[in-house]
Amino acid sequence: MTICKTTAVAAESVADRIAAAVAAKPNVVLGLATGGTMEPVYKALVRRSAAGLSFSAVRVFALDEYVGLPPDHPQSYRVYLRERFVDHVGLDPSRFHVPRGDLSAEVAASEYETTLRQHGPVDLQLLGIGRNGHIGFNEPGSPFASRTRLVALTASTRAANARFFAPGHVPRHAITMGIASILEARRLLVFAIGPEKSDAVWAMVMQPPTVDVPASAVRLHASAEIVLDEGAAGQVA
């Protein structure tokens, strides 16, 4: 576990790890998360790209996508990743994969698992953590054997994301890579910032793995690293 003094230093340290993976293997397969936590990481990676690091052969799998939004919806995770990262680092669009929230969920989930099998495993999976301990959109209670599937979002997750949507338009469902799909990555990199994540971080690292805290599944992985700022580390430092 790495604890950094500030959020900015922590984000740079996460970006350093991802940049090193890209430098070591130009066609690395990255699994990427969205959300506020990751914004400074993508900013730092765009700077690395401008400084000469090539992302042209990198492949990206997004962890999740809302159901019912067209792919070009400004709050879709496809657009999030394009606007903050993909469109600024010269990534080949055919190497950018996001679950299709506009298809039947069953078709979209099975297509995604097929694409993951075809191009995987993911070399480095970046993960954020929800206040309730979710990873991707695997909410508490998600089986550790779960794969990419349709999930209902909990009230707490919908409340946390409500600021991005017009009232009454917060999505109720998402397609997410499952916990078993996530754990198939060669390496996991969990990044959490801010005191509002400190309870979830405590539950992830201090308790035996339990489906009540989906993030605790990362402890079953042989190569999982956790980077925190001091706020998120408040209860484990």
What positions carry a catalytic annotation?
Answer: 64, 132, 134, 139
Answer yes or no whether residue 152 interacts with ligand F6R by CB under 6 A: no
Q: Which residue in the set 35, 121, 209, 231 belongs to the binding site for ligand F6R (CB under 6 A)?
A: 35
**Computed from CA positions of residues 195, 197, 200, 203, in that sequence, does the dihedral angle turn out positive or negative?**
negative
Tell me how far apart the alpha carbons of residues 181 and 237 are, in angstroms, rounded to a whole number: 30
User: Judged by CB under 6 A, which of 9, 20, 36, 107 binds ligand F6R?
Assistant: 36
Stretch of 106-114, 126-134, 146-154, 203-211 contacting ligand F6R, by CB under 6 A: 126-134
With CB atoms as reference, the residue minimizing the distance to ligand F6R is 128
Q: Which span (4-12, 100-108, 132-140, 165-173) binds ligand F6R, by CB under 6 A?
A: 132-140
Joined tokens for residue 229: 């700022």
Rounded CA-CA distance 14/28 in Å is 16
- Which residues, numbered 61-100, are part of the site for ligand F6R (CB under 6 A)? 63-64, 77
- Toward ligand F6R, which CB reaches closer, 25 or 72? 72
* Cβ-based nearer residue to ligand F6R, 78 or 95: 78
128 touches ligand F6R (CB under 6 A): yes
Closest distance to ligand F6R from the beta carbon of 1 (Å): 18
Whole-number minimum distance, CB 37 to ligand F6R, in Å?
3
Q: Could you tell me the CA-to-CA distances from 220 to 87, 134, 169 in Å, in that order? A: 34, 16, 36
Identified binder of ligand F6R from the candidate list 33, 45, 116, 185, rule CB under 6 A? 33
For residue 223, what are the CA distances in angstroms to 15, 146, 193, 212?
Answer: 18, 20, 21, 22
Give the nearer residue to ligand F6R in terms of CB position, either 28 or 98. 98
* Binding region for ligand F6R (CB under 6 A): 33-37, 63-64, 77, 128, 130, 134-136
